[in-house]
Chains A and B, each alone.
Chain A
Amino acid sequence: MPDPAVDDFVQLLTPDGERVQHPDFSFDGSDDVVAGYLREMILARRFDNEATALQRKGELGLWPPALGQEAAQVGSVSATRLPDYVFPSYREHAIALHLGVDPVEMLSTFRGTAMVPWTANAEGLHLYSFVIGTQTLHAVGYAMGMQRDGLVGNADPAANGATIVYFGDGATSQGDVNEAFIFAASYTAPVVFFCQNNQYAISEPIALQSKIPLYRRASGFGFPGVRVDGNDVLAVQAVTAWALERARRGKGPTLIEAYTYRMGAHTTSDDPTKYRSRDETEQWRARDPISRVQAYLLGTGAIDQAWLDAVDAESEDLAVRVRQGAVALPEPRLEEFFDHTVIDPGEVLLEQRDDYLEYEAGFADHPDTDAETHAQVQEAF
């Protein structure tokens, strides 16, 4: 498929599963490491599909599928290690899983039983952010803090850290993202801007956001930009590892544009058939991030069918756990939320909470009259 947009991207594994060379980047991990990526991508996809199914059954309010973006996520997060700090957007499910988030707890946000408490057990991961691009500034601020804590540019590379922040192609139009670029450049902050260009901001194509390839915008801000095949886990890992190391050594920010495709809908509320063709989606299906790794590893003999069967069984177990766990998530009570609105709530808020509790308690001895009331309201309308 002729596509001038991908002419200049970094690719190390073709869609057919063939390793290729690049003059500037190489992947040095063993096939066992690659098999680890494959396993993660398969599990992440299974989790993602299960969450989509749960939404279809009415068990989640909403789900933003990451389908098709597994390589961009697994490859990049695999290049991080503590004390690096990761700032996701809201579609980074493979990243959250990689960093130790419990898959069932993750769904609490989308089932409406909680806000975003589940990053607590994932060291080095910030909350999901739902305001587009907002987290890029948080990542820069955190990176400025790391500079002040002496975690940048030390002779011992293990003592250094950086932040990596995820956002989409649509986010690059946001003021916050552009301000983040400026602050990061001005302060030489150790941050990697990782843009997953999945071609669409809901229905709006990338051409509406940018007239030049996104990675080239970095030069206008004074730091390097690299476009990588976002469906090639090896290339993504190699480019991200380079950018993170550059940041950790005190050389400043990098923009990585991972050129990929959102195979699913923006969210379960979206209908992509209204704005893109089946042909286009099929063309991208041929560039699937998982099948190419599978083909490569089967070719080298690093994995076999038994290995794939074992991962399949593991993903089935995960699906069952997620299916059962999601519906069993504890229901919250409103009064809990009064307690973590502010640290010192003050009397006005405490009185409001007490009024609510008293009001609720007043219903304890009363029969439920909802059905009768509902019928009367329907009639009145």
Chain B
Amino acid sequence: MATMTLAKALNAGLRRALEADPKVLLAGEDIGKLGGVFRITEHLQRDFGADRVIDSPLAESGILGTAVGLALRGYRPVVEIQFDGFVYPAFDQIISQVSRLYFRSHGRLKMPIVVRIPYGGGIGAIEHHSESPEAYFAHTPGLKVVTCSNPLDAYWMIQQATASNNPIIFFEPKRRYHEKGEVDTEAEPMPLFQARVVKHGDDLTLLTYGPMVRTCVEAAIAAGEEGHDIEVIDLRSLAPLDMATVIDSVTKTGRAIVVHEAAMTLGMGAELAARLQQACFYSLQAPVLRVTGYDIPYPPSRVESAFLPDLDRVLDAVDRSMAY
């Protein structure tokens, strides 16, 4: 057991993935000597060499396109997109190639590629550095989309993603990079595509992931002081969704609120609400609510605290749901 930040946990997980399989390669902008702008790959080039920890030219499509070629050759590339807002130049390679070469080849060609993307806001950044593009990828057949919320998951999920033969978009909550947690580096981790009940409760279910998990746990504790017993689920996997865990919870509580930073329209909340009204129709005591970013581009940082879901907005929704 060790205490480490989420950033260090990712670094340790990547180190272990590199040790475990000589076919694992890392590639991205500034990931070598610098160790990445967030230092997630710190010292990995020093210890594993420039052939395995590759500084890429500044071209995101090039990073993904060459990762496809490396995967065809039997390698397992783990590529870093420096910021969420810079993944779009690579969108075509991810959507048209990475996600569907398995399909196009009728299951012959595997694409064991992990695309690491620091995402989300709350760090006072300029534009293009605070986005939450997860729904684009979760909407795309052939892709798996996962996100960690804490150091323990970060440590294990990055290793599980790297060992998977599926292409995986791995979202890292950048505003939580420096939060610390206990990491058991020996205990068997839970399956990658499984949701986790972070806090048990009987009155209402908060469904969330990534940076919003801590916010929701804080809200659940605050709501507890007002007599509401809130359950919090960290989805961890956005594609595929672990609907069994979600449905069990909402069948029990009868109330659900989905919380994410990404814009509301056609986001993960829409998908979850649609599935819940179908699966839990007779259990629901209130409509499924959503607490999300607004349907505007990410605003300037001086107003991001008003844009982002926070404890008060979650509690407001809890009150509305409970009063229904």
Contacts and interface: CB of A to CB of B under 8 A. Distances in A.
B104 A183 contact: no
Interface in B106-165: 106-110, 141-144, 164-165
Contact of B66 (A144, A343, A347): A144
Contact of B106 (A115, A126, A142, A342): A115
B107 A340 contact: yes
A145 B65 contact: no
Interface in A336-350: 337, 339-349
A233 interface: no
Contacts of B165: 343
A353 interface: no
Given A120-B108, A180-B62, A347-B240, A140 B69 contact: yes
A341 B243 CA distance: 19
Interface in A155-184: 163, 175-176, 179-180, 182-183
Contact of B97 (A115, A134, A144, A186): A134
Contacts of A255: none
Interface stretch (B72-80, B174-182, B206-214): B72-80
A117 B166 contact: no
A129 B56 CA distance: 24
B59 interface: yes
Nearest to A179: B62
B142 A134 contact: no
A329 to B, nearest CB: 14
Interface in A187-216: none
Size band of the interface chain B makes with A: 35 or more
Interface in A124-139: 126-127, 129, 131, 134, 136-139
B51 interface: yes
Max chain A CB contacts within 10 Å: which of B56, B59, B69, B105?
B69
Nearest to B68: A138
B96 interface: yes
Most buried by B among A114, A339, A340: A340
Which of the four size classes fits the interface of chain A? 35 or more
A141 B69 CA distance: 4
B103 A115 contact: yes
B6 interface: no
B241 A182 contact: no
A347 B243 contact: yes
A143 interface: yes
A182 B57 CA distance: 8
A57 interface: no
Interface of A: 114-117, 119-120, 126-127, 129, 131, 134, 136-149, 163, 175-176, 179-180, 182-183, 186, 337, 339-349
6 contacts: A126-B72, A131-B97, A142-B70, A145-B74, A176-B93, A348-B241
Interface of B: 25, 51, 56-57, 59, 61-62, 64-75, 89, 92-93, 96-97, 101-110, 141-144, 164-166, 193, 239-241, 243-244
